[in-house]
Structure 1
Amino acid sequence: MPCLARWLVLLTLLSHSAAQENVGIGLDLSVGVEGVLPSLARPANASRIFHGIVFDAGSTGTRIHVYTFIQKDPELPLLEKETFQSVKPGLSAYADTPETAGETVRQLLRVAKKAVPHVEWERTPVVLRATAGLRLLPPKKAQALLDEVEVAFEESPFFVPDNSVHIMNGTDEGILAWVTVNFLTGQLQAKTKKTVGTLDLGGASTQITFLPKFKKTIESAPPDHIARFDLLSTTYELYTHSYLGNGIKAARLTALGALGAEGLERKVFESSCLSRKFREDWSFGGLTYKISGIPDGSTGFTECYKEMLKVVKGVIHQPPELQDSNTFYAFSYYFDIAVEAGLIDERRGGMVKVQDYSIRAKEVCNKLSMYLATKPFLCMDITYITCLLKDGFGFKDETILKLTQKVNNVETSWALGAIFDYFQNIKIH
């Protein structure tokens, strides 16, 4: 990732400038609802304001981030505020009707037109990065969606740079999350190599990234699980991998035997993780599946665990040192399912042990009827997370995870890094 070093230098200068001017960097992303931060204190001698627009095309939704920066010459920019909005489903749901994906993007571009002053439109860059939802699609269908996005961008009044629209590499996604969290927690600025690991669980893929403590971790890892790069005069050798198809929504389909199955309009996929009374048409990635509980079959945690174990066993590589006390931040669906299960507070987040997921999974799965109306997939999802952490990655029950959506009021997302990276490659006038 050749741009990582330049990006972090920019972040460091942003943080340093904020401290000098007593100006903070703060984001408040509320999924599905437009949220504009109150403007932070603006330096009196700020030379000008500029903007950047990033679309995050995920598997379950498309999100727009409109960033407003202050350029204080000769220092690098300060982040003043962010406007955010999300729409569902993700672009991959329109694999057979790509023109609808273009309309989704046009809808969100209207948010950008309201957030960015008219006089700034033509010099405000707009970029879209797609993640695992599009990586799962056949290449021709994915490209058709990207083509529609490009048309929408070209019709907009904003500046469309070269390579404005593309599918993000899964490894880049994991590394950017690791760099973001370790920068925001102050680990990268320290002289020691004490860092935190990151666990990201999306709808279609999951990523794990950490800095190994032991040489044997690197030596025993598959070659594509190790990434090396220079950052702040330090060479980092990370263990990182993205597992496509092991996101929480894709895991449901794999456990059901529905992923890649034919005859979807006729076949009903059954699971012991669901209430015997459950029957529903469920859509993901542009396809609709008929899903139900097993009317006369066994249900409960033990049976559900057997189903979910098939999704991770022999698929997920186990780094040996995860048996030790590495510190990990976990976000996305790790956070969302913990909130849904009542393990943490949605506003504050919190610390949980791996065994907390397991204990709660047993409670939920053994009382499926209680959750039939409101949270029918909770047993399946929390059991999958338990399997992924314990039997997949090999974490101990006692391992503590920090569940969070934000670090120091900044979203744990690659989107901000993407626009910083872009601005590092152009000269702002």
Structure 2
Amino acid sequence: MIDAGSAGSRLHVYRFRQCASVDPVQLKDEALFVQTIPGLSSYTPELAGPSLDPLLEQALETIPIHSHKKTPMAIRATAGLRLLGQEQSEKVLDAVYDHIYARYPFPIIGGRQGGVTIMDGKDEGVYAWITVNFLLGHLKSKDIPTAAVFDLGGASTQIVFEPDPSDQNIMEEGDHKYTLTYDNRQYVLYQHSYLGYGLMEARKRMHRRILQLAEQVKPDLHVTHPCLPRNLEFSFPKNDPSPEAKFIGQGLHDACTDIVKDILNKNAICMAPPCSFDGIHQPLIAEAFAEEGPIYIFSYFYDRTHPLGLPPSFKLPELGRLTEKVCSGEYLDSLPDGDLRDEMLDRPEWCLDLAFIYGLLSHGYEIPDHREIKMAKKIDGVETGWCLGAAIALLDEADLEQNV
């Protein structure tokens, strides 16, 4: 399974055991996980296919030769290609399919139209939900509460959870209501994918909003920025022919948090209450998701907080305090010389990233302060995210015996 994300492409090779189609799928291990940057959306169609060669060459080495033609594969692109627009993204996917079909022995299940596709945001979230709950063993018994999952990519963020049965009956109808059948059991899930609220897109939104607010007061190429380190000069390209803007960092936590709340658009009209942010209907976590149900976050949620020492299990006030220390400069001042200090000096958007992550979880999704949140890059040695769930769905949906 190739995850063609907005920031990079990642290849997963899984080994499963399933003796008959009626048997449940058993995961033996994740035999290979490799990645490359940037993502397919950064390439012309001619270069998109070859950009995956470093991944697929390692797959050739990992998978035994006698299994090459029996190993099904699929490529699922996410929000990065969705943002390109249909015409350009289809050209990229056509070129990727032609390149892989001509050079590699792995059968692409579903051909070009079914096997090399842009994944719908709702499937991205639900597959991530399957991955986490499959690895936790929470799909084996009705007596075990399933986990809620929150994913943060570069261009989009997803939420998926199974509301309490009483809340399922009053959940508004719409794309957010997802009925999943897995292993002869039906799950009624709430899901939503927010395109444009991934971490990289959120950075752009916040920079542009700060520019917009400044220009309403006094047009100036030098703009103070509460989410950047104090006195840092930072250039940001504008979307018009004007010269790029020059930001001067202030390192103000509260003012940065206000910008996060602003872009989350909590005041948007809510046509189907209750709503989370941007006017999107969502059952309240505090009321609709069982207290004993675990909450898992991953992807950029993990990547931007784990290096700073946030523990794998925490509550939002802990993240809030860490964000304050980073924004004020106290965290960096306390660091000895070393790799983390060098990385923080090289990436000036740490305060912005943490403020957005905290604001998204607390003010956006409204996770209560007292709820425990678990961070995981891997569970039992297997990467979290949607890829395993999509691979399991591939086994369920495809007649592999005919295809391979």
Q: What's the TM-score bracket when you normalise by the shorter of the two chains?
A: 0.7 to 0.9
- For 1:160, give the aligned amino acid: I
Displacement after TM superposition at 1:72 (Å): 6.0
Partner in structure 2 of residue 413 of structure 1: 385
Partner in structure 2 of residue 181 of structure 1: 132
Alignment of 1:215-294 (within 5 A): 215-216=166-167, 219=170, 221=172, 223-257=174-208, 271-275=225-229, 276-280=231-235, 293-294=247-248
Tell me how many residue pairs correspond in the alignment. 356
**Which stretch of the first structure deviates more once superposed, 410-419 or 125-134?**
410-419
- For 1:415, give the aligned amino acid: C
Displacement after TM superposition at 1:305 (Å): 0.9
Specify every segment of 5 or more residues in structure 2 that has no aligned partner in the other structure, as ranges.
213-220, 238-242, 267-277, 334-340
Q: SS of 1:223's equivalent?
A: coil
1:352 pairs, out of 297, 314, 324, with 314
Specify every segment of 5 or more residues in structure 1 that has no aligned partner in the other structure, as ranges.
1-53, 262-266, 283-288, 345-349
Post-superposition Cα deviations, 1:283-313, rounded to whole Å, max 9, x if no partner, equal xxxxxx9675326xx4410111111112213
- For 1:235, give the aligned amino acid: Q
Alignment of 1:113-132 (within 5 A): 113-132=60-79
Q: Could you tell me the percent identity over the aligned residues?
A: 32
Partner in structure 1 of residue 217 of structure 2: none
Could you tell me how far apart the structure 1 residues matched to 2:139 and 2:303 are? 27
- Cα distance, 1:336–1:80 mapped onto 2, change above 3 Å: closer
Give the TM-score taking structure 1 as reference length.
0.74
Q: Is the 8 A contact 1:277 1:292 kept in 2?
A: no
Post-superposition Cα deviations, 1:4-48, rounded to whole Å, max 9, x if no partner, equal xxxxxxxxxxxxxxxxxxxxxxxxxxxxxxxxxxxxxxxxxxxxx
Partner in structure 2 of residue 79 of structure 1: 28
- For 1:240, give the aligned amino acid: Q
Q: Is the 8 A contact 1:63 1:85 kept in 2?
A: yes
Q: Is the 8 A contact 1:318 1:392 kept in 2?
A: no
Partner in structure 2 of residue 362 of structure 1: 324
Say if 2:259 is the partner of 1:307: yes
Displacement after TM superposition at 1:150 (Å): 0.8
Displacement after TM superposition at 1:269 (Å): 8.1
Q: Is the 8 A contact 1:64 1:86 kept in 2?
A: yes
Partner in structure 1 of residue 297 of structure 2: 330
Q: SS of 1:79's equivalent?
A: strand
- Cα distance, 1:252–1:103 mapped onto 2, change above 3 Å: same
Q: Is the 8 A contact 2:313 2:374 kept in 1?
A: yes
**Which stretch of the first structure deviates more once superposed, 185-194 or 391-400?**
185-194
Q: SS of 2:284's equivalent?
A: helix
2:120 pairs, out of 169, 191, 204, with 169
Q: SS of 1:126's equivalent?
A: coil
User: Which is richer in helix?
Assistant: 2
Could you tell me how far apart the structure 2 residues matched to 1:341 and 1:56 are? 27
Post-superposition Cα deviations, 1:106-157, rounded to whole Å, max 9, x if no partner, equal 2322112222333433333231001111112111121121112112111123
What is the Cα-based RMSD across aligned positions, in Å? 3.0
Post-superposition Cα deviations, 1:164-216, rounded to whole Å, max 9, x if no partner, equal 20011111111111122222222221232622211111111111111112634
Could you tell me how far apart the structure 2 residues matched to 1:291 and 1:386 are? 26
Displacement after TM superposition at 1:353 (Å): 0.4
Partner in structure 2 of residue 160 of structure 1: 108
Displacement after TM superposition at 1:280 (Å): 5.0
**Which stretch of the first structure deviates more once superposed, 353-362 or 73-82?**
73-82
**Which stretch of the first structure deviates more once superposed, 133-142 or 66-75?**
66-75
Could you tell me how far apart the structure 2 residues matched to 1:268 and 1:100 are? 38
- For 1:91, give the aligned amino acid: L
Post-superposition Cα deviations, 1:340-392, rounded to whole Å, max 9, x if no partner, equal 32213xxxxx2010111111111111118757614411100110011111111
Partner in structure 1 of residue 373 of structure 2: 401
Q: Is the 8 A contact 1:218 1:239 kept in 2?
A: no
Could you tell me how far apart the structure 2 residues matched to 1:329 and 1:237 are? 19
Say if 2:170 is the partner of 1:203: no
